[in-house]
Amino acid sequence: MLDDNGFDHALGNRVRTALRTEVADVTAPPTLLADVRRQHTRRRAARRITFFATPVVAAAIAVAGVLTVSDLGSAPTAAEPVNAAYVKEQTAKALDNEAHDVLYERGTDTSGGKYGKPGQNTVYERWYSADRSAFRVRVTVDGTVVEDESKGPDGGVSVDFRNRTWRATSPSLRGAQILAEEVMTPGQIQQHLADDSLKVVGPGGTVGGRPTILLHRDPAGKAEVPVDLWVDDASYLPVQFRYQQDDSVPFAMTLLTPTNDNLALLRAVVPQGFHQQ
Using DSSP, how many helices (H) and how many strands (E) does the chain show?
8, 14
Structural domain contains residue 51: yes
Residues 218 and 251 reside in one and the same domain: yes
Phi, psi torsion values for 83, nearest 5 degrees: -90, 100
Q: How many domains does the chain have?
A: 2
Is residue 254 within a helix (H) or strand (E), and if so which, with residue range?
Answer: strand 251-256
Greater confidence (240 vs 12) lies with 240
* pLDDT range class, residue 220, cuts 50, 70, 90: confident
12, 10, 14, 59: which is closest to 36 by C-alpha?
Answer: 12
For the segment 104-158, what is each residue's pLDDT rounded down to a tens digit?
Answer: 999 999 998 889 999 999 999 999 988 888 889 999 999 999 999 998 888 899 9
CB-based burial label for 238 (10 Å; 0-12, 13-18, 19+): buried
Structural domain that includes position 34 = 9-64
Cβ atoms of residues 15 and 26 within 8 Å: no
Q: What was the pLDDT predicted at 54?
A: 33
**249 and 195 in a common domain:** yes
Confidence of residue 33 (pLDDT cuts 50, 70, 90): very low
Q: Domain check: are 43 and 111 in the same one?
A: no
Q: Model confidence at 56, in pLDDT bands (50, 70, 90)?
A: very low
Q: What is the mean pLDDT of residues 13-34?
A: 44
Angle (CA) 212 184 157, round 5° = 125
- The stretch 194-223 carries a mean pLDDT of 92
Separation between Cα atoms, residue 45 and residue 52, nearest integer Å: 11
pLDDT attached to residue 32:
43
Q: CA-to-CA distance for 7 and 77, rounded, in angstroms?
A: 30
| pTM for the model | 0.68
Residue 78 included in any domain: no
* Residue 178 per-residue DSSP state: H
Q: How far apart are CA 12 and CA 55, in angstroms?
A: 11
Domain at 152, CATH number: 2.50.20
DSSP characters for 64-118? TTSEE--TT-PPPEE-----HHHHHHHHHHHHHTTTTPEEEEEEEE-S-TTTS-T
184 in a structural domain: yes
pLDDT of residue 79: 54
**Is the same domain home to 169 and 44?**
no
Specify whether 239 is located in the same domain as 156. Answer: yes
Residue 72 in any domain: the answer is no
Co-location of 210 and 255 in the same domain: yes
Split at pLDDT 50, 70, 90, the class of 245 is: confident
Listed range (58-62, 90-94, 189-193, 231-235) with the worst mean pLDDT = 58-62
Instruction: Give me the DSSP letters along 117-169.
Output: -TTS-EEEEEEEETTSS-EEEEEEETTEEEEEEEE-TT-EEEEETTTTEEEEE
